[in-house]
Amino acid sequence: MPDDRLERETLFLFEAMLELPEADRDAFLAERTEGRPDLAARLAAMREADRRAGLQTGAAVDALEEEAPPERIGAYRIVERIGRGGMGAVYRGERMTGDFAHVAAIKVIKAGLLSEGLVERFERERQTLAALRHPHIAQLYDGGETESGSPYIVMEFVDGEPLLAWIEAHAPDRETRCRLFAEICGAVAFANRNLIVHRDLTPANVLVTAEGSVKLIDFGIAKPVDAGAAPARTSLGSLSLTPGYAAPERMTSAQVTTAADIYSLGKLLAKMLPPAAGDRELRAIVARATMLDPADRYPTADALGADVAAWRAGMPVSAVGGGRGYVLRKFIGRHRLGVAGAAIALLLLVGALGAALFANMRAERALAESERRFGETRAIAKTLLFDAFDQVSRVPGSTQAREYLARAGLTYLEALAADENAPLDVRIEAGLGYMRLAQVVGGGQASQLGRYADADALLARSEEILGGLLDRHPDDANVRRAMAALLVEQSGSNLYNNNDVERARAQAIRAKELMAAGAAGDLEAARLYADALRAEGDTHNWDDAFPQARELHNAAESFIAGLPAPFQADPQMRSIRAGNLRLLGEAHHKLQEVEPARRTLDQAVEINRALVAEQPDDPLIRRRLATSLRYRAIVHRSNDRNELARQSIEESRAEAERLRARDPNDAGALQLVALVAEVQAQILADLRRFPESYAVGEQVRAMHVSLVEKAGGAAGAARSMAAARRTDGGNHYNGGDYAGACRIWRETLDLYAGLDRRGQLTDTDRGNAVRELTDYVQRTCNPPRAALGPSI
């Protein structure tokens, strides 16, 4: 109900706010609305409306200017303009790749039209969207900024008709309409699972191709108005908001969740399959999808699609009835999916708890006890995301289950994070929640699913939340710690998965700087500071800059040695120290400091053995033990201590295999086994046990093929594979199998060529590996012979 006093206060404060410089407005409103969530919400809605109004004015002015199409955009030659509107234009572009022309649609948004914040969002989302591949989603290829500063995106060119126009022209039967809707639901569900919201699902954004198949366009992108389309029916649409299809919460400042897409799907369904007068079930489905409160809608696009499929098949429809039982069934049903073995029992327990709280939450809402709801939502999120997550982590085979838990928890946390009234610690938790999810799907060096591209997107989301908090609370210790933890995580991901050494180093340094003050007095800060030093040193190792690496790893050692005894005894600190010692050993080794290398690696192995003995179930610690054993084997080997090398590598392989056996989905474990086995094959070759060496080499190849497949285009996986193949070629050469060596080297050069084509070949690889392999192949392979001497 409108409240005049509240409205007058809102108007008064909004005007007062406008008199202040942009930078001071947040603080001003925060102060003046303290303890007044209603007032704060009204002002937030006003600011959002103001932003929309401003954008529209600009859009209309821009629409008056005609602009000649550019000749090129990025790598594309512009063929023709296929659409034009107030915000920019859409072109058809071509790019020559090999013998055929690659055609793409290129959307250019006029320079200066998007606010800085929107450009940033546009950039961030572009990266997320590029990783989104689905047969019914128009693929986003690339993007950037034109010379005149207009942001643009390059996407799959879809030769199709807008949905409703197609339906009108073809008058398809009910069966076909249902199939089209199922395809749309599938595509939206897929995107939503990847935490991407379309935001503007309308018939104009659903194209039907000549083959009668659906393609969704404009995913998550501020929508340029298409030329030829009818003028917006009301002037009040925002940048990416179409009246009639946009969920009601989109009109306010409330955050946009996947529930907004469900709403639009419901509206779309009503247009595609107008319910006949007596069709109670179809009406119920549309009604449930378009409930005013997002929490009352279908939880996923899949659930909506399933209900439509049930309706078509004459089965009972969940939208009829609904209620608490529905929610519980749904919860447990979802827990059954993708969860293996022992994890199920625990998950069902957690799920039941969640459902109970959830049901309770609904009852509470009726009583408008929003405070309690808040607390309970948070409790569910924390349970799913932190407590249950940690417990499940110890259960073998739980990688999928952990991903599920993290995603489920995030649904709640995301809602809280977007709430401007949420306490700071809740918003920090949401940021860290994304980091956790990233660790599971592929960012972390521990057990994960190997989907690096997804992980990067999640880390970017975490950065968005935590970075925003840090801007507003630069001196808050919790915010600083959370940001530092994220930076160290991102540094590792950029180094190992994305091959982006510069960024990895910058992130490690920023984490270090955030923690520099007072690190010695706070355990968590001390851990992060030491870990940041380790991560920074690691980036130098990666670049073969071993003196710099040694310096930083020594700095981490002295920092830890100077800490109070209880800090030093902390298991996590010891684990960080062991990792640092392992890298220090590597630097010593590369600098040919034989004894320091051996001593340092023995220390690292000792610390890790003790930690494993204390916590035998922690996979991360086992992983570190395997890694340190592996590196010690490498050092022994290059100092001709072949027998010690063999012992160390066999112990390492056994540890790594144990981790892999815990969970076949765990790409982190698979990667570890591959790295260990690569060294093992070398040591077997040193011991002249060539048939065994070749067999292990073949195992390594198979593992890398699977890792590259999972990595979804991240350069790290292909680079690792190339390095492993190069080593294997050397083993074959040393064993006298020159033909085999040449075959493998040529294959390796192909891998590097592929990296080069994608702009992912590092200068180090170009200068070392590629040059060396080209030389080997030239000298020894035509015909294969021992041109490099007896061994290399």
Partner 1 sequence: MREEANTNVLLAQWQGGEGGARNALIARLHPELLKIAGARLRQERDSSLSTGDLINDAVLRIMRTDSVTPGGRANFVALASHIMRNILVDHARAKASSKRRHRKVELHTQIDGGQRVDLMELEAALIRLRALNPELSDLVEMRYFGGMTTADVAAVTGVSEPTVKRRWQVARAWLMDALANPVDDA
By CB under 8 A, name the binding residues for partner 1.
2, 4, 7-8, 10-11, 14-15, 18-19, 45-50, 52-53, 56-61, 231-236, 248, 251-252
Residues 712, 448: Cα–Cα separation, whole Å: 14
- Within 13 Å and on the Cβ side, how many CA atoms surround 519? 23
Q: Which of 57/148 has CB closer to partner 1?
A: 57
Q: How are strands ordered across the β-sheet holding 76-85?
A: 72-73, 76-85, 88-97, 100-109, 151-156, 140-145
Residues 445, 448: Cα–Cα separation, whole Å: 8
Q: Which of 45/348 has CB closer to partner 1?
A: 45
- CB of 248 vs partner 1, minimal distance in Å: 8
Residues 435, 484: Cα–Cα separation, whole Å: 12
- CB of 242 vs partner 1, minimal distance in Å: 13
Amino acid identity of residue 588, one-letter, is: H
Q: Which of 59/381 has CB closer to partner 1?
A: 59
Bridge-based pairing of strands 151-156 and 76-85 is unpaired
For residue 215, list its beta bridge partners: 207
Q: Which of 16/169 has CB closer to partner 1?
A: 16
- CB of 252 vs partner 1, minimal distance in Å: 7
H or E element in which residue 76 lies:
strand 76-85
Amino acid identity of residue 302, one-letter, is: D
Q: Which residues contact 740 (CB under 8 A, 6 or more apart)?
A: 694, 729, 732
- CB of 286 vs partner 1, minimal distance in Å: 18
Q: Are 132 and 140 in contact (CB under 8 A)?
A: yes
Q: Which of 19/763 has CB closer to partner 1?
A: 19
Quick one: DSSP state of residue 292? S
- CB of 23 vs partner 1, minimal distance in Å: 18
- CB of 19 vs partner 1, minimal distance in Å: 7
Q: Which of 19/211 has CB closer to partner 1?
A: 19
Q: Which of 236/569 has CB closer to partner 1?
A: 236
Q: Are 493 and 438 in contact (CB under 8 A)?
A: yes
Other CB atoms within 10 Å distance of the CB of residue 26: 15
Q: Are 162 and 206 in contact (CB under 8 A)?
A: yes
- CB of 68 vs partner 1, minimal distance in Å: 23
Residue 784 CA to its chain's centroid (Å): 45
Based on its alpha-carbon atoms, the radius of gyration of the chain, rounded to whole angstroms, reads 29
Q: Which of 231/759 has CB closer to partner 1?
A: 231
- CB of 198 vs partner 1, minimal distance in Å: 20
- CB of 85 vs partner 1, minimal distance in Å: 13
- CB of 344 vs partner 1, minimal distance in Å: 45
Q: At what angle do helices 452-472 and 116-130 cross, to 10 degrees?
A: 160
Q: Which of 11/594 has CB closer to partner 1?
A: 11
- CB of 255 vs partner 1, minimal distance in Å: 16
Other CB atoms within 10 Å distance of the CB of residue 49: 15
- CB of 364 vs partner 1, minimal distance in Å: 25
Q: Are 84 and 90 in contact (CB under 8 A)?
A: yes
Residues 688, 734: Cα–Cα separation, whole Å: 9
Q: Are 717 and 706 in contact (CB under 8 A)?
A: no
Q: Which of 56/706 has CB closer to partner 1?
A: 56
Q: Which of 232/309 has CB closer to partner 1?
A: 232
- CB of 236 vs partner 1, minimal distance in Å: 5
Tokens of 263: 């709403």
Q: If we measure between CA atoms, which residue out of 524, 561, 553, 517 comes closest to residue 536? A: 553
- The torsion region of residue 244 among left (phi > 0), alpha (psi -120 to 50) and beta comes to left
Q: Are 222 and 239 in contact (CB under 8 A)?
A: yes
- CB of 234 vs partner 1, minimal distance in Å: 6
Q: At what angle do helices 523-542 and 546-561 cross, to 10 degrees?
A: 170
Q: Which of 48/747 has CB closer to partner 1?
A: 48
Q: How are strands ordered across the β-sheet holding 160-162?
A: 160-162, 206-209, 214-216
Rounded alpha-carbon distances, angstroms, from residue 343 to 266, 394, 400, 620? 35, 10, 10, 18
Other CB atoms within 10 Å distance of the CB of residue 106: 26
- CB of 53 vs partner 1, minimal distance in Å: 5
- CB of 107 vs partner 1, minimal distance in Å: 21
Q: Which of 249/369 has CB closer to partner 1?
A: 249
For residue 101, list its beta bridge partners: 96
Tokens of 358: 């959830």
Other CB atoms within 10 Å distance of the CB of residue 740: 18
Q: Which of 56/762 has CB closer to partner 1?
A: 56
Give me the sign of the Cα torsion angle 227, 229, 231, 236: negative
Residues 602, 607: Cα–Cα separation, whole Å: 9
H or E element in which residue 72 lies:
strand 72-73
Residues 186, 214: Cα–Cα separation, whole Å: 10
Q: Which of 14/326 has CB closer to partner 1?
A: 14
- CB of 233 vs partner 1, minimal distance in Å: 8
Q: Which of 232/610 has CB closer to partner 1?
A: 232
Q: Which of 4/640 has CB closer to partner 1?
A: 4
Residues 141, 151: Cα–Cα separation, whole Å: 14
Q: Are 181 and 273 in contact (CB under 8 A)?
A: yes
**C-alpha torsion angle, residues 569, 572, 575, 579 (rounded to 10):** -120
- CB of 291 vs partner 1, minimal distance in Å: 14
Q: Which of 86/433 has CB closer to partner 1?
A: 86
